[in-house]
Structure 1
Amino acid sequence: MPTLRQMEYLVALEDTGHFGRAAASIPVTQPTLSQQLKALEKRLQVKLVERGKPLRLTPIGREIAARARRMLMDVSEIRHLAEQSRTGAVGTIRFGVSPTLGPYLIPPAVVRLHRENPLLRMYIREGIPDDQFAELARGTLDMVLAPLPVAGGGLHVEPLFREPLSLVGAPDHPLHCIDGLRSSDFAGQPVLSLDRRHHFHRQALDICRELGAELMRDYEGTSLDSLRQMAGSGLGLAILPELYLRSETGGEDMVRRFAIEDWSATRSIAAVWREGAAFAGAYAAIAEVIAAEAREILR
């Protein structure tokens, strides 16, 4: 019979579309992953992987991977149920969060969560939301905090709050001198963003289309700090979230918001966990604490 580990390898390969990235995500060596998938194909007597460029699963490979994904999620929940039965407590939560959000919201939430539940432990990892949703589906993360929309099935999505976004530029930018600034004044203006793997990049692209601005392709930032610093140097404008602008590490020391009369933007933040999760009640309680901290900061 196929092993659970072989099923995990197949799902990882479908998620990444690349042997090296699939091996790194588990983690295991690439030769081991490749050999085990060949062994799985031999055992099942079907071809699961088309090993060309681009790499893809065969139709039967995709069907088996979909069933394997559900099976792995069930096994993960069985383990969680057993842990809950043994300890009576949640234990350690493997928590994924977007780097455009985590550093500016999670610290006060962690303080409150630890105060209210000293037995709760949180293993926190920042990462690209799309990648973390895949990890959530595989069971390597328990819960993710990220902007909407959420990609992937079998997930419970709990909307928490809406966060305002602001367009900022260097304090001496000429547009700051215009009274009654309107969205049409930003036509053709260069706007900085994070690299295209981020949801934040896609939202910045939508905002640029709305304003008629130009998203800069040659100067993609690696963090919100880098966007603020590049905008402060006059390289271009930047779109920054409110929690970042109100944080100790962010702020408006080197940039200034544009007061645009006919434009505003927000992003929606949600907590996500697997449908039917053993600790769904605990995840919902954690999500409510995070939402309450966000509302307090934004107020």
Structure 2
Amino acid sequence: MNTTFRQLRYFVALADAGNFTLAAELANVTQPALSLQIKELEANLGVKLVERMPREIRLTRAGQDVLARARVILTEVRDLEASARLRGGLSGSLTLGAIPTIAPYLLPHVLTRLRSADISLELKVREAQTHRLVDALQKGEIDAAIIALPIDLHGLEVTELFFDRFLLAGSKSRIASYTETAPPNPSDLPPGSLLLLEDGHCLSDQALAVCGLKGRRQAVDLSASSLSTLCGLVGQGFGLTLLPEMAVNAESAAMPDMGVMRFPEPQPERTIALVRRKSTDNDGWFSDLAELIGEAGRELLKTACSRIAA
């Protein structure tokens, strides 16, 4: 019997899960069915792939080699499927990833443009932190992702979309006190008053770098799990934070006690980009999507100006 893609998918799921029960859930099959496919794969290849233990499995040396090759094969298959789906520009189906500090603010505007342009695209969205989106891209689980640079671009094609400036956010009274004098530079902000997102968010790393605190995480409070939580805290007077300009409309409307202002020139900013695997055929869909997202982002930033103190 020949080795099948199903067997390879089940084997990768087993390696990722570490036990048969969880692997069966991930693969959406029964445990006996998954176990049978793994046994048949071992028989087809003539090697033992896993060491079976009471509550977990461990890959043999042969299993580790097969796993690496299986991932490559399955990624190539997904690339082939994606190429067929997206042939002829923005049509068919597409899975798009976006980081949490971008997704809730930008994607509604992207979807509005897709509808108004009457583009026949079935769009699925996955929100996750940068490292998870890059991993999903490399595994072929998503077609493209909207992220903030810089990141490791090994094996990825990147198109820069627009620049998103960082603003100073705090309670309205505290921001008003700054507007009466010279606005502070990011490096002048007292570290003890800074609140940032918890570890794992690239926005925290970028904010630390902007404030000259790279490598000094212990100097600031890294506790909030979302920008909305962060804005609620600073709006009530619990410190200051750096807020992306694209988030101003939504967060200012939700947090009326929060004020925002610009930093002096040159204003700190992050680069928003669209990335995909280099191995995926473009055929127009990637450049079309990048143009649409870029236009939506620049329009979003224009509307934010009225809420920002000079």
TM range (shorter): 0.7 to 0.9
Equivalent position SS for 2:145: strand
Matched, 1:7 2:8: yes
Q: Which moved more, 1:249-258 or 1:108-117?
A: 249-258
How many aligned positions are there?
295
- Give the alignment of 1:250-261 within 5 angstroms: 253-261=256-264
Q: Which runs of 5+ in 1 are unaligned?
A: none
Instruction: Name the % identity.
Output: 30
1:52-201 superposed matches below 5 A? 63-83=65-85, 90-151=91-152, 153-173=154-174, 176-177=177-178, 179-180=181-182, 181-201=184-204
Pick closer, same or farther for the CA change 1:41–1:231 going to 2, 3 Å: farther
CA distance in 1, matches of 2:149, 2:25: 27
CA change 1:129–1:23 in 2 (3 A) is farther
The answer to whether residue 309 in structure 2 is matched with residue 281 in structure 1 is no
176-185 or 21-30, which deviates more: 21-30
Which residue identity is paired with 1:155? L
Shift of residue 291, structure 1, vs aligned partner? 0.4
Q: Which runs of 5+ in 2 are unaligned?
A: 303-310
Name the CA distance, whole Å, in 2 between partners of 1:29 and 1:209: 53
In the other structure, the counterpart of 1:294 is 297
- 1:264 corresponds in structure 2 to 267
| C-alpha RMSD of matched pairs (Å) | 4.0
TM-score by length of 1: 0.77
Q: Residues of 2 paired with 1:56 and 1:267: CA distance?
A: 42
The 1-side partners of 2:150 and 2:299 are apart by: 24
Matched, 1:215 2:220: yes
Deviates more, 1:285-294 or 1:107-116: 107-116
Cα 1:277/1:183, change in 2 over 3 Å: closer
Q: Once structures 1 and 2 are overlaid, which stretch shifts more, 90-99 or 152-161?
A: 152-161
Give the direction of change, closer, same or farther, for the CA distance of 1:236–1:220 in structure 2 (3 Å limit): same
Superposed counterparts of 1:223-262, under 5 Å: 223-247=226-250, 253-261=256-264
| Aligned-partner Cα distance in 2 for 1:199–1:30 | 38
Change (3 A) 1:88 1:205: closer
The alpha carbon displacement at 1:102 in A equals 1.7
Q: Distance in 2 between matches of 1:247 and 1:7?
A: 44
Report the 3-state secondary structure (helix = DSSP H, G, I; strand = E; otherwise coil) of the residue aligned with 1:125: strand
CA radius of gyration, larger in = 2
SS in 2 for 1:246: helix
